[in-house]
Amino acid sequence: MRYVVGYQSDERGGDAVAVAVAIARAQGAKLDIMLVLGEDAPYVGPSSEADHPGRRVDAEERQILTAQQRALALVPKDVEVEFHVREGSSPAAVLIETAVEFEAALIVVGAASNGLFKRYTVGTVANALLHASPVPVALAPRGYKRSDPIERLTAFIGQGPGADAAVDVALVASARRDVPLRFVSLVELDERGDHGRSVDAANRHADTVLGDAVGRLPKGHETSVEVVRGRTFEEAVESVDWLPGELVIIGSSRLAQKRRLFLGSIANKVLRVLPVPLVVVPLEYERAESRPLG
pLDDT digits (tens, 9 = 90+) for 174-231: 999 899 999 999 888 866 555 667 788 888 888 898 999 999 999 999 999 999 988 8
What mean pLDDT is predicted for residues 59-78?
94
Sign of CA dihedral 261, 283, 237, 279: negative
Locate the domains of the chain by residue range: 2-140, 152-281
- pLDDT at position 155: 94
Residue 153 has pLDDT above 90, yes or no: yes
Q: Residue 229, SS3?
A: strand
Q: Looking at residue 264, what is its pLDDT?
A: 65
DSSP-based three-state secondary structure for 131:
helix
- Residue 117 burial (10 A CB sphere; 0-12, 13-18, 19+): exposed
More confident call, 126 vs 258: 126
Tell me the mean pLDDT in the region 230-245.
Answer: 92
Q: What is the pLDDT of residue 256?
A: 44
Pairing, β 137-140 against β 278-281:
antiparallel
Mean of pLDDT over the chain: 84
Instruction: Give backbone dihedrals phi and psi of 85, rounded to 5 degrees, phi first.
Output: -125, 125
Residue 157 and residue 278 in contact, taking contact as beta carbons nearer than 8 Å? no
Identify the weakest region by mean pLDDT among 32-46, 250-264, 273-287. Answer: 250-264
- The rounded distance, in Å, linking the Cα atoms of 157 and 228 is 11
Which tops the pLDDT comparison, 196 or 250?
250
Question: What would the CATH number be for the domain defined by 2-140?
Answer: 3.40.50.620
Judged by average pLDDT, the poorest of 13-17, 43-47, 210-214 is 43-47
Best-predicted range by mean pLDDT (51-55, 77-81, 280-284) = 77-81
152-281 under CATH 3.40.50.620, yes or no: yes
Torsions phi, psi of 9, nearest 5?
-80, 65
Q: 3-class DSSP state for residue 135?
A: coil
Which parts of 68-151 are beta strand (E)?
Answer: 81-87, 106-110, 137-140
Q: What is the pLDDT of residues 130-148, one digit of tens each?
A: 888 889 999 999 889 999 9
Collect all residues with Cβ–Cβ distance below 8 Å to 21 and sequence separation of at least 6.
31, 74, 75, 76, 79, 147
Q: Do domains 2-140 and 152-281 have the same CATH topology?
A: yes
